[in-house]
Amino acid sequence: MPDWRKIVSEQLEAGELPRAVCEEVVSELVAHLEEIAGEARSQGLDEAAAAETALRDVEDWRVLAARICRAKSQEDLMNHRTKSLWLPALATLLGASVSLMLTQFLKMEPRVVWIGRIAMTLYWPWLATLPVLGAAGAWLSGRAQGSTPARLAAGLSPSLIMLIVICVILPWGLVIDGFDFFRLLGFGLGVVNWVVIPAFALLVGALPFVSQSEPAKA
């Protein structure tokens, strides 16, 4: 059986690829050649013919290596974004949802503030938990080497999601029920009630972790 690793290393060196080409790329190329050679052997070719078939499949070593590097870079970016943004944001959102559910389950009465004919319901026990949850989200993002915007988004995710929901509901409400000043005022107060105030509480906890220096880039 050919020493595919030696062959790949020689070809990459002959193609004058940057030395930054990582060992993972060599391994990917080796696996690619072994797969093609294996398919050739399954079709009845001997070892030498199968190896020649695998080598013929690679038209340009530099292009193939660059393609693998690009694919792995995109994969690494997605993995980093998932660890530093989506998972911390989901954890913060889940924590805020469970906290609100427990507040309602335990029948902790909200403080009702009337603005004309419109009521704002402020769940103070729930709001009191949000700084802790905001801090947890930003900390998780920072622990995964998230950037400052990623930490901020992870810490404020419950308010950001609620803002998106309200922005989707508002146009439909105006189209279905018609434009009305008090209805528009109600949406505005809803933004204050469920977006602005919770965002402030989340930010109080997240800010110490958001303001930490970003991890050094390699």
**Reported pTM:** 0.63
Measured between alpha carbons, how far is 191 from 81 in angstroms, rounded to an integer? 28
Q: Do residues 194 and 166 lie in contact, with contact meaning Cβ atoms separated by under 8 Å?
A: yes
Q: Do residues 189 and 115 lie in contact, with contact meaning Cβ atoms separated by under 8 Å?
A: yes
Tell me the C-alpha to C-alpha distance, in Å, between residue 112 and each of 96, 109, 119, 126: 20, 9, 6, 14
Query: Can you give the pLDDT at residue 158?
Result: 95
For 110-153, write each residue's pLDDT tens digit.
Answer: 887 777 666 778 889 999 999 999 999 999 999 988 899 999 99
For 16-66, write each residue's pLDDT tens digit.
Answer: 445 555 566 777 778 878 888 888 888 888 888 888 887 777 766 666 666
DSSP for 128-157, please give it: HHHHHHHHHHHHHHHHTT--HHHHHHHHTH
Query: Can you give the pLDDT at residue 77?
Result: 64
CA torsion sign for 131, 133, 134, 140 is: positive
Measured between alpha carbons, how far is 158 from 47 in angstroms, rounded to an integer? 60
For 173-214, write each residue's pLDDT tens digit.
Answer: 667 766 666 667 777 888 888 999 999 999 999 999 987 655
Kindly state the average pLDDT of the residues 94-104.
93
Residue 106 contacts by C-beta under 8 Å, 6 or more apart in sequence? none
